Each structure stands twice: as structure tokens, then as C-alpha cells.
Amino acid sequence: MGDAAELELSVWVLSVIGAITALYYLLKWSWLCWRGFKVYVVSEFWPVDLRSYGQWAVVTGATSGIGRAYAIELAKRGLDIVLISRCEDKLHAVATEIESSYGRQTRVIQTDFTEGHSIYPAIKDKLADLEIGILVNNVGMNYAGMLVHFLDVPDPERRITQVINCNILSVTQMTRLVLPRMVERSKGLIINISSEAASQPQPMLTVYSATKIFVTYFSRCLNSEYRSHGVEVQCVTPFVVSTNMTHNIAVNLLVKSAPSFARDALNTVGYSCYTSGCLTHALQHIALSILFPDWLRLSSFCVEQTERFARTKQNWIKESVAQTAKKEE
């Protein structure tokens, strides 16, 4: 009789624990689904009026890819644009397109973000008289055109320094330049472009992945520090977007075009401070987090398979790089 009672009690306790666990996960996934619906669906119909942040938007790396797409999308939404990049001819081409197509004012600043700290006093002077409402820290670079081991980076002494200057120093220094006046006005938006490569460690993209996780942590910490001052800091972590960095891979269900991504990502402003930018990339992030966890990604087996994949793509990458260079000429 006593054993039966104990068994019944044990079954009841386990049932309660199971019910509580099921309820916890049901509520958790319901909340995540609602947040995803709000960020990626509701935002399509009720986007924030970006003009409320201020008159000017500054975009780094603004002559191609995601940066160019952000600049054009921001102009469409009524902001004047400061374009910063290293190629003066391309800067003026994008500026002319924005002025003629959308009737917005533009300014261009020619600079090379790989050169280090010496470039920022000149940028500060050129931004001094502007009411900057939005800063898009987009400029970034990989250290090789393909997946490689750390020691196989071409010209490593120069290249690694360039990547750190471009991917890390630019974000912190540009933020330092514009943030004080945003705090004074109690209004501003800083958008930092990180990467899905920062969501988990990425062997054979080691330096790129490491610099992008800096961008992610910097953005999220900064948002916590300054949102009470009226300044929002959004971290955007795109998956694959068809740009020069991705060798202009064909757009499909999983790969976004730069203009489409920029439009979707800007819609998430005000809805999320940490976003994949679009629904398809968010779903890919969830799938990879579940199916491709850290322990597998960092395993010797996975690295060997990545090496094998990289070898099979070498010729295609070389052809894509050559085509991109020819197109830019």
C-alpha cells in the first residue's frame, strides 16, 4: 500500500514537472514567434519615420553593396546623406543618383578606413556643421577572398591590420565622432552592420568572425548605455547578401539582394536593437543555431569538410573576383 502511494506521488510530481517544462517552452516559443512577427512582419506595415532622428544620415562604405543600398533607401525615406568611402568617382556617382532620383542633399567624404586613426580628424571637421540623426557603420572587409587558415592570409602583416582598422576601429571612432551631439539632442540612431559570422565562432573566417563579434558586443553594450539618453544603437547581423564581398552570388530564396535587405532591415528600426535584418535570414539563423552548434562547427571533422569545400570553390571564386574587378573598371 505504501509502495503504491509512493509510486503515485512520484508519477504526480513528474507530471507536474513535465507540465511546467512544457508550459515554459510553449510560452518561450510563443514569445519568440510574437517578437519575430512584430519585427519582421508588423514593421513592414508600420515602419518608424526615420526623419524623426534628424536631417542627415552618414553611411560608411557607401559606394557598393549594403552601404550603397542603405544610403539610397535612407534618401528614399527623406534624409540627406553623407557618403563616406575610398573611391571618389564612385562617391560622386552615388551622390548624383541620390540627388537626381530622390531630391536629397548629399555630401561626400573620400577616405580609406584601412589607414587607421589618422583619418578621423578630417572626417570630424567635415561633419561638424551637420545635424546627424543616423549613422550607419557599414564599412567592412574580409581578409581573404575565400575560406583560409589564419596563417594562409595573403600578405598577413598588412592585411590583418587593415581588417582590424576597417571592421573595428571605424565603428568605434565614427561612433565617437557623432554620439556626443546625439546625446545633446537626446535623439539619434546608430546602425552597426555585424554579420551572421559573429553569431558563433567561424573557423577559416577567424579574423572576420572575431572582428564582427566585437561589433555585436560593442553595439549591444552601447545601446544599454545610451538608450536612456534617447540614442538607439541597432546591431544588424545579415546572413548572405549578394555583394562584391560574396562575389555577387545569385539572389534566391535564401540570398537577399542588397536593396531588398536594406529596405527590410531599416523597417526593423524601432522594433529591435539586435536583428538579422530580414525574416529569411532570421529563420536561417535559428536553423543553424539548432542544426549546426558550436561543438560541431569547431570540430576537426567540420574544419576538414570546410577545407574540402573551399578547394572545390577556388576556381569559381577566382572567376567571380575577376568579373567583379572588370565590372568595377
Identify the helix (H) or strand (E) that includes residue 161: helix 156-164
Helix (H/G/I), strand (E/B), else coil: 139: coil
Strand segments, DSSP code E, in 185-318 are: 188-193, 231-236, 241-242, 256-257, 274-275
Cα torsion 108, 248, 163, 189 to 10°: value is 50
What cell was used for 43? 514593421
Cα–Cα distance measured from residue 184 to residue 324, given in angstroms and rounded to the nearest whole number: 43
Class of domain 36-328: alpha beta
Domain ranges of the chain: 36-328
Is 271 tagged catalytic?
no
Percent helix, strand, coil in the chain (nearest 5)?
A: 60, 10, 25
Task: Give the predicted TM-score (pTM) of the model.
Answer: 0.90
Rg from Cα positions in the chain: 23
Ordered per-residue pLDDT tens for the chain, 329 residues: 566 777 777 778 888 888 888 888 888 888 888 888 899 999 999 999 999 999 999 999 999 999 999 999 999 999 999 999 999 999 999 999 999 999 999 999 999 999 999 999 999 999 999 999 999 999 999 987 778 899 998 889 999 999 999 999 999 999 999 999 999 999 999 999 999 999 999 999 999 999 999 999 999 999 999 999 999 999 999 999 999 888 888 999 999 999 999 999 999 999 999 999 999 999 999 999 999 998 999 999 999 998 998 888 777 776 766 665 555 55
Choose, from 102, 208, 226, 271, the residue flagged as catalytic: 208
